[in-house]
Structure 1
Amino acid sequence: MLRMALLTLLIGIGSQVNSSPVAGTFNSIDGGTISLEEWRGDPVLVVNTASRCGFTRQYDGLQELYDQYRDRGLKVLAVPSDDFRQELSSAEAVKEFCAVNFGLDLPMTDITHVRGAQAHPFYQSVKSNTGFVPRWNFNKVLVSPEGDVVKTWGSRTKPLSAEITRQIEALLN
């Protein structure tokens, strides 16, 4: 029981939330910026990632999810972060690692803080609106086409899980 409580605290448990719209502009791993406002009208799954994490294999699921729904408008945004000390030392290394090992072509940000005082404004907004803070790598935030946080999930919820795909399909229909 205590072990489950600690795991829950560490990796987060999915939660239904209602909030005011969230937004933000991220530095892209490819140069330039990625603006969530430019994606308004489409659902966005934002996932904090890390290259040296036990959940890193979820990149495969994120790419497959993106491939499956991108033509219907879904955006999947990977946000590499070293907040849990499991990311490579540079954005260039992250980009190469993801391309070589996972063939990723989904949008990615530069290495970004997702928690604490230095958290990116998107994550600060998510926290203030919903109370959700990533508790580990590969936590997921689903944003509606209107910019509202629909639901959050911890690391153990896989990108292609029915729980996530049902929520995405509801936003696409």
Structure 2
Amino acid sequence: MAATIYDFEVEQTDGTKKALSDYEGQVVLIVNTASKCGFADQFDGLQALYEEYRDKGFTVLGFPSDQFMNQEFDNIDETMEFCRRNYGVSFPMYAKVDVKGGKADPLFQYLTKETKGLLGGEVKWNFTKFLIGRDGRPIERYAPQTKPEKIRGDIKNQLSE
């Protein structure tokens, strides 16, 4: 099993691979997103955190998922356009993935295994958030209803370490 998120490659929206080692040394918030979810207004908060802290070594990585009541567009271009147009999303978004079950993306398998004691096991809904420290290891897992602004203090603490 991987030791950090830096051991993974993920698929970008254009189908090419991106090494998460490109984010080495940064504090990262990984979120499984869904455009048609009731929590979609959290895109605003995620974007605000990204804008506030990106120059200090922080980024948000969005991973659209359609596993919870089919709340994501079929076409990734529609997802990207929706996020840009409605929420001004400029943080990195990746290809649609499964975040739970037998076909879960290896990154999410790793994240859920590493945070099993925090909210337990597999991802249960859209907008589950994983805070990753500069060492590439998960620090905290947040429930879907946790608003991004509630995570600000934890992000600031990680950036100051």
Fold shared per TM-score above 0.5: yes
Residue 133 of structure 1 deviates from its aligned partner by: 2.3
Matched, 1:104 2:89: yes
Matching residue of 1:27: 11
5+ unaligned residues in a row in structure 1: which ranges?
1-19
Residue 30 of structure 1 deviates from its aligned partner by: 4.7
Residue 149 of structure 1 deviates from its aligned partner by: 0.6
How has the CA–CA distance of structure 1 residues 98 and 30 changed in structure 2, closer, same or farther, with 3 Å as cutoff? farther
Letter in 2 for 1:114: V
Sequence identity (%): 38
* Alignment TM-score, normalising by the size of structure 2: 0.89
Matching residue of 2:56: 72
5+ unaligned residues in a row in structure 2: which ranges?
none
Matched, 1:167 2:154: yes
Matching residue of 1:7: none
Conservation of the 8 A alpha-carbon contact between 2:112 and 2:123: no
Residue 31 of structure 1 deviates from its aligned partner by: 4.9
Letter in 2 for 1:60: D
String of CA shifts for 1:100-150, please: whole Å, max 9, x gaps.
Answer: 111111100011111111111111112222324221000100011101110
Residue 25 of structure 1 deviates from its aligned partner by: 1.5
Q: What pairs with 1:1-150 in structure 2 (closer than 5 Å)?
A: 20-23=3-6, 24-84=8-68, 85-131=70-116, 132-150=121-139
Conservation of the 8 A alpha-carbon contact between 2:115 and 2:140: no
Aligned length: 153
Conservation of the 8 A alpha-carbon contact between 1:43 and 1:143: yes
How has the CA–CA distance of structure 1 residues 141 and 117 changed in structure 2, closer, same or farther, with 3 Å as cutoff? same
Task: Point out which structure has higher relative CO (alpha carbons under 8 A, 6+ apart).
Answer: 1
Residue 99 of structure 1 deviates from its aligned partner by: 1.2
How has the CA–CA distance of structure 1 residues 49 and 128 changed in structure 2, closer, same or farther, with 3 Å as cutoff? same
The separation in 2 between residues aligned to 1:137 and 1:156, in whole angstroms, is 9
Conservation of the 8 A alpha-carbon contact between 2:131 and 2:140: yes
* More moved, 47-56 vs 131-140: 131-140
* Alignment TM-score, normalising by the size of structure 1: 0.83
Conservation of the 8 A alpha-carbon contact between 1:126 and 1:133: no
The separation in 2 between residues aligned to 1:45 and 1:103, in whole angstroms, is 18
SS where residue 53 of structure 2 aligns? helix
